[in-house]
Every structure is written in C-alpha cells, then in structure tokens.
Chains A and B, each alone.
Chain A
Amino acid sequence: EAQVTQNPRYLITVTGKKLTVTCSQNMNHEYMSWYRQDPGLGLRQIYYSMNVEVTDKGDVPEGYKVSRKEKRNFPLILESPSPNQTSLYFCASSLSTGYLDTDTQYFGPGTRLTVL
C-alpha cells in the first residue's frame, strides 16, 4: 500500500531534550516536506526537500533541522525543543516538483508533539 508513515504518532518531552520525528514514504517520491499545524494558523511549511541531499527552508524553519540522505526518509530534528514547538506535525511527499497544481501531495497521519 502506498503510504507516508511517521513515528512516533504521539510524543511528550521536556524542554531541551533533542528529538527526531521520522518520516518515510514507499512511493519513490522525490519531493518531501514537513508542516506544522497550529490552532487558528492552519498548516505552515517548515522545510522541504526536492531530492536526496537537497533541502530548503519553508515558512517557519527556526528551531528545526532536516536531512535527506535517502530518497524514502526525511527526518525532522529538534535539537533543543521549546514549548512553542508544541504542535501537530505532518510529513508529506509528492512525485516530483511539489507544486500542488500538478503534483498531488500525500500526507502522513501526523505526530502530536508536546514540549513541557
């Protein structure tokens, strides 16, 4: 089954404790991205990647890191999490460009992160 998976689905942590949220897709997609969803603000893009070793900032990259060493994986790293990073996080992938017009994005189920 074609899908985007994220782990963990739920995470409670404390300020300053490094964490990684994994994202994996089995569709051989080139484009992958991370979003955060906050009440009243909708989805905002954090980082995106056009292909292996190619990443770029989205609208809200501060406090996050990403890497794309393999095509299928795109982990989101919080080196020193803070309470304002408490949010619902979504990973997404698409076949090539990531342009919504021509390239449907497939979303993972989400990771709910709480930073105390």
Chain B
Amino acid sequence: GDSVTQMEGPVTLSEEAFLTINCTYTATGYPSLFWYVQYPGEGLQLLLKATKADDKGSNKGFEATYRKETTSFHLEKGSVQVSDSAVYFCALSGGSYIPTFGRGTSLIVHP
C-alpha cells in the first residue's frame, strides 16, 4: 500500500536558519503530495501541495518540489521564524477517499 516516510524530529533551529524536512513516499500510480502544518493546540492546516511531477508548491515562504525520480517531496524554507514552530505532516493522495499521512516532524525555532 501507499506510505509516507518523514524524518524524525524534533528539528531544532535558530531563527533565520535554513529548514529542510525530508519526505519520501511509495505509491502506485501518480499521487498528489501535500504538506500540512499543525500549530500547538490546533488542527492540521494545508500548507502547500503539488499534484504532478516537477510541480513546486509554495506558501508562506515554504516550498516543496514533487520529485518523481527520487519519490520525494522535501519541505524547505530559507529563513525560519519562531512562529514557524509547529508539527509538519507530509501526506499523499492516490485518488482514494483515504489519504496517507506521515508521522509528523516537530520543528522548534529558538529566538
């Protein structure tokens, strides 16, 4: 079946540092890929998505590129802020009603 693998957390960075959170997937066919963010005490929110190979999703300074050759969708941000501290989930949708989520990666940004 489909699966998503994310890097273990927590990821701890200083403000203005560069962020990468790795995500790789296995799926049949051509899934769409997503990053969700969960701020403390809140539900998940869609951060960005890409629906086909080589697409780049971007939002709020975050970017991720759909790489079919490496089955990856790594999340990046050039300069993180304290307000980016949250849990980030990579997910895929293979066109069914049941999406597949990764385990989540906690990001902690210090001033």
Residues of A within 8 A of B (CB): 4, 35, 37, 39-45, 48, 50, 56, 58-59, 90, 92, 97-101, 104-110
Contacts and interface: CB of A to CB of B under 8 A. Distances in A.
Interface of B: 4, 6, 32, 34, 41-46, 49, 51, 89, 91, 93, 95-99, 101-104
B104 A42 contact: yes
Contacts of B96: 99
A97 B95 CA distance: 10
Contacts of B34: 100
28 contacts: A4-B43, A40-B103, A42-B4, A42-B89, A42-B101, A42-B102, A42-B103, A43-B101, A48-B97, A56-B97, A59-B98, A90-B44, A92-B43, A99-B95, A99-B96, A99-B97, A100-B32, A100-B34, A101-B93, A105-B46, A106-B43, A107-B43, A107-B44, A107-B45, A108-B43, A109-B41, A109-B42, A110-B42
Given A100-B93, A109-B41, 6 more contacts: A41-B103, A45-B99, A98-B97, A99-B95, A100-B34, A106-B43
